[in-house]
Each structure stands twice: as structure tokens, then as C-alpha cells.
Structure 1
Amino acid sequence: MISQPFISVVIAVYNGAKTLQRCIDSVSEQSYKNKEIIIIDGGSTDGTIEILKANDEKIAYWKSEPDNGIYNAWNKALDKISGEWIYFLGSDDYLWKNTVFQEIAPHLSEANSQEIQLVYGQVARVTKDGDIACVDGHSWDHTWQGMILDGVCTFTHQGMFHHKNLFETYGNFDESFKIVGDYELLIRAFKEGGDAIFTEGIIVAGMQTGGVTANCTKLVKETAEARKSNQLKVITLPWIISYAWALCYPCLNYVIGDKNTRYLVNSGKIFVTNLSYKKNQILK
């Protein structure tokens, strides 16, 4: 009999009444039954609490109180989970279709058998109107190189499933970071190497453009801080190009719109990391 890994879905929310119900429904309506929802709210005042109360039977645990940002909320949730696999979802994001967990579960079982602590698929970046700007998610070789060697965030956490052992081994999220705490954690876990499973072709979630990661300049600067704190080289050519993109982002967004800007940024990131990857393969 094929094992059915238990998945804990962690949702952090603050004044997310406009999108929270969609997020909850995308999880509760999954055909895969071996799951739970944990929601940590930062003390919302916009009707979020009423949504949480109305969905109480769907939620294993929820709490509303002032917090110190998304990573503080996620760390609180880690104390409440029951699952061996943990999936983090933003309140304005949603699972792509109701069979996502069913499709990902065999890969989680495979990871268990190989003692691999990270499984990830692809993420569609969508506008508020539901248009797909681009799809993120690439092979582990490219993703690892982008994270560790190039200093570029070549992943989106909405596509990633973390085994609980990863946190037991490397610790929780560093709450001093406001945007790249997930990136910093992965640096800690994988800077010396290690494997992950990429489920190519499986779109795990729709990630709504905007949110905290829309502040591209701060994101790139925090990326540098995360690398410095983990004794990794900070100034790399891909990082410099990313910083230049970040400076241009507001102007581009104004001129050509959110969807086209996100597509250009993503394409540029892929182009630069591909060049770096090919260079490193030649040097090997």
C-alpha cells in the first residue's frame, strides 16, 4: 500500500479578507485527504477574523494576535503542526487545482524513502485579474546554483514542501528578515550541497503578483544580507544584474504594466542563471 504523507498547510494572513476564503477553499477542496490547515493571523481588523470563525471546521488551528511579520507567524505555526511535510501559502495565493496534493504525494513518499527534505514544483505568477504573467520553477541544479552561487532567488516558496526534519536540523526562520527569510533558511540547509526533488510539469500554486516581494530593491538588498550572514559571496554578476532590474522595476511597471514587467524580470533572471550555469558546467 502506497503511503499517504501528512501535509500541514501553513497560512499567514494580515488583513486578507479579500482573498483568504479563496485560499482556504483551495486547500479544503483538495481531493487529497491527509492534510490540515494552520492559520496565523497578525491581528487583522478588516473582516479576516469573521472568515476564520466561519471556516473553523476546516481549520485545525488558528490564532489571531499582533506579530512581527510573516516569518514570526510561520515560526508560531511550526509549534502547532502535525504533518511530516509542511507547505507555506500566502493568504492571497491559492493551490492551482484540487488534485495538486494528490499529484505531489508520490514525490513526497519518494523523498521520505531517500531522506530528502525538500520537494518542489512550479508556481504561476498571476495578476489580480487572473492573467498568468509567467511560471516559475526549474531543475534543482539550476535552482541550487541560483540560490547558492549566483545570489538570485530562483524559487518561490509557494511551490515548496519542506520536511519537518529540515527545521529540526537547521532551525526555524530568521525573523530579522522581512522578505527573504525563506531564502535564508534554504541557504543554511543547502549551502554545502544536498538534494531536492523537482516535480516538473506540476503547477502547485497561483501566486498573486504584488505583496511584500514586489519591493524588489529591498528584496535584493535582503538577499545580500542573507548571503553575508551565511558567509557566501555577495557581489556576483547575477546579483548586480538583479539589483539593476530592481531599480528599473517601478518605472517598467508603470510603463508596461505588472504582467509584462513580471514576465521580463523572470525571463531576465532565467537568462542570467542559464549563462552562469553553462559557464560552471564548462569549468567542471
Structure 2
Amino acid sequence: MLAMKFSVITPCYNAGATIARTLQSVAAQTHDDVEHIVMDGGSTDETAAIVEARIRVGGRFVSGPDQGMYDAMNKGLALASGEIVGILNADDHFADPDALAWVAEAFATHGTDAVLCDVGFFSTRRPDRLFRRYRSVTFRPGRLAWGWMPAHPGMYMTREAYLRVGTYRTDFRIAADYEFVVRAFVKHRLSFVHLPRVLVRMQAGGVSNRDLAAKSVINREVLRACRENGVYSNAWMIASKYPLKLLEYFR
């Protein structure tokens, strides 16, 4: 087993319906050294009781008011002590008990700032079946201008790289992860390698995919993220990704 500590950060709020599966997938990881940091925004449902009963041994549960998901991520990052850090949302879960062992091996082999993995999408009606695979293999920093980013739940970075890049910006409603990725791979030129495995199973229907209004917000924020980091883009370039994304359903 590679001697490498992971910090997995889970932001949540009223996630009682899904977080047990998330917690179980972290607890089941075969990699020895994993700290699970669950940052709760002050849930009023059964989230706290589920976390306290099921969190991986040695994990941390912090509950209190926050300014949303990205603020919770930042608070988790401030607590993280692992050499490798990643985000696992409360309605997602690791695809395999060896998921973090795969990532540890990739870091040990390639010595990069980041390891980019794939993410599989499932529906609540068929949780056992993936209907779409988000492949990070196509990612290049130059593609950010066209609205393409690696799958954020499949992105693991060294803690040192996180310290260089900084925190997630809380003045973005939906696309702070996109802005972070632009900053990381364009401004700070982090090195990365793609690991061709589905690391995380992600429940369909996240904030950025709910409806046309949400897509409009995220496209404006993606364009803003590019421009504020010196990347030329425009609305047509961002919109051009949608026809190509349809291919993810058929591969």
C-alpha cells in the first residue's frame, strides 16, 4: 500500500436521502490513509445522525452555517491534512473500493500536480446502470475557452497545488469549479495525467444541469471565468460544446 494520505471533502446540506451511500463508499476504500471531512451547512434533516453513525474512522464532521457549497469546500480545504485532496459531493459515491488506490498509484507513477479521472452518471430510477460517461481524456487547457473542463468530481490534486491555486470563489453561483480549473491549468499551469477509469458515480440532476435557466447562468459564469483569467472566449464558443456532449451518451 502506497504511503500517501488522502483528504476527501464532502460539502452537504439536508443530504439525508443520499449521503449514506457517499459515506459508505469512502469507508470502504482499501487505501489505508484517508481522512473524510464532511462540511455540513446546518442541516435540519437526518444528515447529522447519518454522518455521525457512518463516517469513516478518523473522519471529521463539522456542522454550521455557511455561504453555500463552495464556501463549505473552502472550509474543508482549510482543515485538510492529506497530501492529496479531492471533493466528493453528498449525492455521489466512489465507483470502486480501490478508487483511491488507483489515484495513489497514478500520483506515485507520474508525479503530477493532478490526476484527472472519469465520472459516470446514473439516474435515481436505475442506480445500478451508468447512462453517460464523462471522459476527462479529452481535456486540454486550450479547450477551456470552448467550455470544456475535466470532470470535477474525478479531479484529485496535491495539497501543495491547492495552496498554489487558492480557494474556490464564492462570488460564482454555479461555475466556481470551472473558474478554479481555469486558474489551476491556465494561470498556474498545473501538470496532470488522465487515469482512464470511472472514479466516481454521479447522480444526474445537479444544479448546473437542472434546466435551461441554470444552463444560462453557468454559461455566463464560464465565459466570465475565462475572461477574468485572460482566456479569450465568447458565447458561441461556449455553446458549441453541447452537440459534442451528446456523444457521451453513446460511447
TM-score under structure 1 length normalisation: 0.79
Q: Is residue 10 of structure 2 the alignment partner of residue 31 of structure 1?
A: no
Report Cα offsets for 1:89-128 as digits up to 9, x if no partner.
010000001111122211021343xxx2110111101111
Deviation at 1:63, TM superposition (A): 0.8
How does 1:120-139 map onto structure 2 within 5 Å? 120-129=116-125, 130=127, 131-139=129-137
220-229 or 38-47, which moves further after superposition?
Answer: 220-229
- Contact kept, 8 Å, 1:111 with 1:117, in 2: the verdict is no
Q: Which runs of 4+ in 1 moved over 4 A?
A: none
Q: Residue 101 of structure 2 aligns with which residue? A: 102
Query: What is the identity, as a one-letter code, of the residue corresponding to 2:246?
Result: S
Inter-partner Cα distance in structure 1 for 2:223 and 2:50: 38
Inter-partner Cα distance in structure 1 for 2:49 and 2:65: 17
Report Cα offsets for 1:30-68 as digits up to 9, x if no partner.
111111100000111111111122235635211111111
Among residues 132, 148, 152, which one is paired with 1:153 in the alignment?
148
Inter-partner Cα distance in structure 1 for 2:159 and 2:104: 15
- Contact kept, 8 Å, 2:118 with 2:154, in 1: the verdict is yes
- Contact kept, 8 Å, 1:61 with 1:80, in 2: the verdict is no
Deviation at 1:153, TM superposition (A): 3.3
Query: What is the identity, as a one-letter code, of the residue corresponding to 1:144?
Result: P
Among residues 152, 174, 179, which one is paired with 2:174 in the alignment?
179
Deviation at 1:18, TM superposition (A): 0.5
Inter-partner Cα distance in structure 2 for 1:234 and 1:170: 22
Inter-partner Cα distance in structure 2 for 1:265 and 1:127: 21
TM-score under structure 2 length normalisation: 0.88
Q: Is residue 176 of structure 2 the alignment partner of residue 197 of structure 1?
A: no
Instruction: Give the number of aligned pairs.
Output: 242
CA RMSD of aligned residues (A): 2.1
User: Unaligned stretches of 5+ in structure 1?
Assistant: 246-263, 271-284
Q: Residue 245 of structure 2 aligns with which residue? A: 266
Inter-partner Cα distance in structure 1 for 2:159 and 2:99: 20
Deviation at 1:71, TM superposition (A): 0.9
Inter-partner Cα distance in structure 2 for 1:187 and 1:204: 22
Inter-partner Cα distance in structure 1 for 2:190 and 2:78: 26
Q: Name the larger-Rg structure.
A: 1
- Contact kept, 8 Å, 1:134 with 1:266, in 2: the verdict is no
Among residues 199, 202, 205, which one is paired with 1:207 in the alignment?
202
Deviation at 1:236, TM superposition (A): 5.8
SS of the residue 2:163 aligns to: helix
- Contact kept, 8 Å, 1:120 with 1:161, in 2: the verdict is yes
Inter-partner Cα distance in structure 1 for 2:248 and 2:234: 16
- Contact kept, 8 Å, 1:39 with 1:59, in 2: the verdict is no
- Contact kept, 8 Å, 1:111 with 1:119, in 2: the verdict is no
- Contact kept, 8 Å, 1:26 with 1:95, in 2: the verdict is yes
In structure 2, relative to structure 1, the CA distance for the partners of 1:138 and 1:164 (3 Å cut) is same
Equivalent pairs: percent with the same residue?
Answer: 24
In structure 2, relative to structure 1, the CA distance for the partners of 1:57 and 1:28 (3 Å cut) is closer
How does 1:1-284 map onto structure 2 within 5 Å? 3-55=2-54, 58-112=57-111, 116-129=112-125, 130=127, 131-139=129-137, 142-147=139-144, 149-150=145-146, 152-192=147-187, 193-200=189-196, 202-214=197-209, 215-235=214-234, 237-242=236-241, 266-267=245-246
- Contact kept, 8 Å, 1:5 with 1:108, in 2: the verdict is no
Q: Residue 259 of structure 1 aligns with which residue? A: none
Inter-partner Cα distance in structure 1 for 2:133 and 2:46: 32
Inter-partner Cα distance in structure 1 for 2:181 and 2:56: 33
- Contact kept, 8 Å, 2:115 with 2:194, in 1: the verdict is yes
